[in-house]
Amino acid sequence: MATGNGTPKPAYRVALLADARQQFMALLNTARTTAEGDALVAALKRVEKILGSRPADAGEPMYHLRAARLQIRQVTVAPLHVEYGLHEEQPVVIIRRIAGLNEPLD
């Protein structure tokens, strides 16, 4: 299925938790004075595209949250490292943590 502009509609809905959005904005603010800011935005767009189409094939599984029916996975798209939850029954991906490759995930 395609959207109104002819681009394919993602098979999965991708959402960012508020913490992940803040983590990304902090990285972006740090990188604004260099060309790294453009690379961060491009990487996030690539992550969203990958997770919107084939999240089970991306990255590596980390652990399972049975009660929430989520498989927690991680993927790296330079210069970002992303942790996300893949819902087992619904086409939903939740980005829960974003870090630069040179920063700890805490």
Domain ranges within the chain, ordered by starting residue: 13-100
* pTM for this model (two decimals): 0.83
| Alpha carbon distance 95, 106 (integer Å) | 15
The rounded average pLDDT for each run of 10 residues, N- to C-terminus, in the chain (106 residues) is 58 95 88 79 91 93 95 95 96 95 64
Nearest to 12 by CA among 90, 95, 98: 90
Q: What is the CATH number of domain 13-100?
A: 3.30.2310.20
